[in-house]
Amino acid sequence: MNVSIKITENNNAVHASIAGEIDAYTAPKVRDELIKHAEKKGMQLVVDLTEVIYMDSTGLGVFVGLFKQLRANEGDLTLTGMSERLQRLFDITGLADVMDINTEVEGGV
């Protein structure tokens, strides 16, 4: 399965919608598309995961890296639209306690 990423940018706000699977095969593409926005100072990155049907630990690693990069550059990461399965993955790993997770889908930027 492939992954598709749609990005909308408006000043210091970026909205990314991801569809498909985020695994060892597709995670590098997701990371490469999103990290360039995380390197900018003060970016607000909202990632909509509504259409993500599967994520493994490699995908989690991508979001941990994004979170750290954004925080280092005084930015924020918000994850939205997670299925119960994805939410459970973030809960089990403790990432839900440190990342901003909104179960509702946020509007576009």
Per-residue pLDDT, 1: 62
pTM for the model stands at 0.90
Per-residue pLDDT, 60: 95
Per-residue pLDDT, 53: 94
DSSP 8-class letter at 56: -
- Say how far apart CA 45 and CA 77 lie, in whole Å: 5
User: pLDDT (tens digit, 9 = 90+) per residue, 44-66?
Assistant: 999 999 999 999 999 999 999 99
Positions in the chain whose pLDDT score sits under 50: 106-109
Stated length of the chain: 109
Per-residue pLDDT, 109: 42
Question: What domains are there in the chain, each with its CATH number?
Answer: 3-102 (3.30.750.24)
